[in-house]
Structure 1
Amino acid sequence: MKSTPQTQRPAAGWQRLFRGMTNALAATMAVLLAASFTGCEGPENFTPIPAEAYSPRPSGTLAAGDVLNISFPGAPELNTTQKVQANGKVSLPTIGSVTAQGKSISSLQSQLTGMYTSHLQNPAVLVAVETAASGVYVTGEVMKPGKVPLDRPMTVVEAIGECGGFTKFANPKQVVVVRNQGGKNQRYALNLADTFSGANDSAFYLRPFDTVLVKQSRW
């Protein structure tokens, strides 16, 4: 016996409903796929990079919390490791407390050599930073994210190198430096692909407590 039109209508209705749901699902997936490529973030606000960012900070300026290795080539028994105290001073054999905070390594060495002239036949003093109190923080698509001691003038490229370099997912064209100035965060956008290609030979120098964010590539 042949099916009547009445017995076919319910099946046809379900088919139309299923096709409608499928089309709606496909449309939703298309929107989500497009969003994954274009990104759903709004435009970011970046601060124009000031000229001073391309100059290194004063070389080797010491700060409270820095740990120093102080050695005496002519009297190794006096060698010592000292942490710069909150008052900016270190305590040394024979001469007592000396202010280290705010001085460069070379100026502190010269001062100590002069102070030990009357105490040692060879008054030479060598100062090296074992652990720097200040540092920068590198995060995002680098091999070893974390804090990098800022014990010397350091560029963004050098800081990323200290963290093992970029991961395979990194986008060198999208590197952001966040810097707190006057209680406000300033955001600087860097294109390091231009740096590596030689299109831009300006080196961006970091300051204490900067944060470097390496963004992920979007395919």
Structure 2
Amino acid sequence: MKTTTVNTLVQYIIWLCLIVFSFSSIVHANDNYKLGSGDTIKITVFGQEDLSIEVLLNDSGKVDYPFLGQLQATGKTLTQFQQQIHTGLKGDYLINPNVSVSIVEYRPFFIDGEVNKPGGYPFQPGLSVNKAAALAGGYTERASLTKIFIIRSNDPEQKSVNVHANTSVMPGDIITVKQSYF
């Protein structure tokens, strides 16, 4: 009986550690992610319903926020934007606001060339070129798996870079799968 209890406790601890590790890696990934046009975000100020909003970031990347006016969101991490709102509300409006900013929906990525259904698709964390191609109906018969190019949305020069099929894809990226001649 004691062995069963210990085994159950060990399984519970392992399960709890996996959840904590998964959550911390998601939080870490979002700490590096910069907001951009096309992202839908949710701003929550706990205990203040009138200050909690959900908004799609347009081309200007600004959010009309109660009491604070227009705030620039694009180019900032979730933590930076959250801190900006916290700082703006603290003092004049609230004593110690508890602000949370989260992504409801990432901006899409785009895939064209030798895939069955080229177009824009909703980004999903953990997306690779192969997974993106699968969302686009798979590669065509003439697709070259050595001639795959990405233009990164965060690259100011917008250079097309040759990548592998297991390369990570980010929101706003443009993937082009070239044709193979053999």
Report the TM-score, using the length of structure 2 for normalisation. 0.56
Cα distance in 1 for residues equivalent to 2:40 and 2:47? 22
CA RMSD in angstroms, aligned pairs only? 4.1
Gap runs ≥5 in structure 1: 1-55, 196-202
Instruction: Give CA deviations for 1:62-110 in whole Å, capped at 9, x if unaligned.
Output: 2244332222222233221223344432111122221212111121112
Partner of 1:75: 48
- 1:186 partner amino acid: S
| Residues 136 and 150 in structure 1, CA contact (< 8 A), matched pair in contact too | no
Partner of 2:62: 89
More RCO (CA 8 Å, sep 6+): 1
1:179 corresponds, among 136, 140, 151, to 151
Partner of 1:125: 99
Identity of aligned residues (%): 19
- 2:84 partner amino acid: Q
How far is the alpha carbon of 1:204 from its aligned partner?
A: 4.7
Gap runs ≥5 in structure 2: 1-28
Partner of 1:188: 162
Partner of 1:146: 119
- 1:126 partner amino acid: S
Q: Judging changes above 3 Å, is the alpha-carbon distance between structure 1 residues 68 and 102 closer, same or farther for their aligned structure 2 residues?
A: same
Partner of 2:71: 98
How far is the alpha carbon of 1:146 from its aligned partner?
A: 2.8
Which runs of at least 4 in structure 1 moved beyond 6 Å after TM superposition?
180-185
Larger radius of gyration: 1
How far is the alpha carbon of 1:140 from its aligned partner?
A: 3.5
Partner of 2:128: 155
| Residues 88 and 101 in structure 1, CA contact (< 8 A), matched pair in contact too | yes
